[in-house]
Amino acid sequence: MRKVFAGLAALLLLAVVAQFFLAASGAFDTAPNDESFQPHRALGYGIVLFAAVLTVFAALVRIPGRLIGLSGLVAGLGILQPVIAAIAKAFGDTGDTTAAGQLVFGLHAVNGLVIIAVVGTILRQARGLSTPAAPTTRAGAGDDAPAAGPAAGSTRTAS
């Protein structure tokens, strides 16, 4: 199941990268903003839903708590995205954003970068969980190396 979680995390990363592509495509589209950014908006809601499902899945298959929390964080940051956009739009009620609105809307892009960083962390840690651990051996201890530690016995004599 850990490999499935890693695969879902990879799919989430691809969706977030596609989200950046759709944002750039909408920014350079000649159609009105509501129409230009519709695919970006729809995928954004899909990412929030997918991150929430990933969080529940991680909890059900007993993925470490840190990854469950990070998955939930992605959903929370995704919910924050339209809130940032609404606050920025509130600064300009004619449809054109003011300088303050543009500054606030810049947080939308910064939040997107945070989302991609968190998803990258999830994927990296999930891949580490899904690969089998190598057998552990004592570093530098060969057959002729003297044993060390309490089990090795003591050569000290009482005086």
Tokens matching residue 21: 């592509």
Beta carbons of 105 and 6 less than 8 angstroms apart: no
* Closest among 9, 10, 35, 7 to 22, alpha carbons compared: 35
For the chain, domain boundaries: 2-130
| pLDDT tens sequence for the chain (159 residues) | 889 999 999 999 999 999 999 988 887 777 777 777 889 999 999 999 999 999 999 999 999 999 999 999 999 999 999 999 888 888 865 455 567 778 888 899 999 999 999 999 999 999 998 777 666 666 555 555 555 555 555 555 555
Beta carbons of 94 and 52 less than 8 angstroms apart: no
